Amino acid sequence: MTMFHFFNCAILTFGPHAVYYSATPLSEYDTLGTSVKAAVVYLGTALVKLVCLATFLQVSENDGFDPYQELLKALIGFIDVAGLYFALTQLTHRNISQNHKFQAVGLGWAFADSVLHRLAPLWVGKGARIHMGYILQGLEANANLVLSISLAALASLIWLRKNKPKTLIPIIYACAGIVATMPSITSYLRRGLGWYFPKVVGFELFTSLVMAFISWQLFFCVPKALCMSSRVYALLYHSKYEAVLIAHQFTSQASYVVLPWTTPLPTLDFYRLCSLKV
């Protein structure tokens, strides 16, 4: 491809990650360190998956769909879930809310995946003729970005949110399972059903939007269900040394309380306020 086409494809592949970071509150809360840590965890997870694939999978003589091999790949793919668990719960993060934490982890996870799987083909093909496959590869990276953030959101609901409504738990686990096994699903579409790459990318884009919508709704339904049984606090005013919070008990009238602060207040979000006790 020409150098101009190479830069266009590179921007299409890696540009959305930078746009997402700068266009969301992630840049305001300086969560770059969290994303970098998540990227490092992804590289370690990818190394473990590579060793497992090389150990347990057999080299196939044809390019057909092997259910046993694909099932084994799907099981090995759940190592990503273990990596996300480590990134969300075991790594030290700045004092950021869960809302920003899962986005930062998902962003770093998706960026590391794009660098590992798509940078080399782009660089090797920069001297070749223009090919539509590199544009589709960039679109696939965008779908993977959305899916990674969706999976991080669902993982955050599973491991970081306690006392989830029982009616939502099966939906959360089912959606997480679908996103985690997406590589096996796309492999079946290509090898089992004979879908061409553009059709598979279209399916990935559509699925990523659907899963993003579902995970977003689930993420905001869970705290609402929790707060109905506890007190909800809304920040009315804060200065350097005090904050006025209004506490609303759903079974009583609203009241307010003034809390002293010895240090300047950070921006208080809904989830942190829900955990306060007056």
Would you state the pLDDT for residue 182? 92
Residue 159: CB atoms within 10 Å: 12
Mean per-residue pLDDT of the chain? 78
* pLDDT average, residue stretch 242-253: 39
Indicate if the pLDDT at residue 12 is higher than 80: yes
Indicate if the pLDDT at residue 250 is higher than 90: no
* pLDDT average, residue stretch 35-55: 92
Query: What predicted TM-score, i.e. pTM, was given to this entire model?
Result: 0.76
pLDDT class for 21, splitting at 50, 70, 90? Answer: very high
Range with lowest mean pLDDT among 8-17, 196-205, 265-274: 265-274
Tokens 């029982």: give the residue. Answer: 166
Nearest to 216 by CA among 156, 272, 169: 156
Cα–Cα distance between 16 and 144 in angstroms, integer?
A: 11
Q: State percent of the chain over pLDDT 70.
A: 74
Residues 6 or more apart in contact with residue 113 via CB below 8 angstroms: 42, 46, 144, 148
Would you state the pLDDT for residue 178? 93
Would you state the pLDDT for residue 248? 39
Would you state the pLDDT for residue 152? 93
Structure tokens at 229: 């049984």
Would you state the pLDDT for residue 227? 39
Would you state the pLDDT for residue 243? 44
Indicate if the pLDDT at residue 123 is higher than 90: no
Cα–Cα distance between 183 and 186 in angstroms, integer?
A: 5
Tens of pLDDT, residue by residue over 54-90, are 888 877 666 667 778 888 888 888 999 999 999 988 8
Would you state the pLDDT for residue 62? 66
Indicate if the pLDDT at residue 185 is higher than 80: yes
* pLDDT average, residue stretch 150-162: 89
Tens of pLDDT, residue by residue over 215-244, are 988 887 775 443 333 333 444 444 433 444
Coil, strand or helix: which one is 168?
Answer: coil
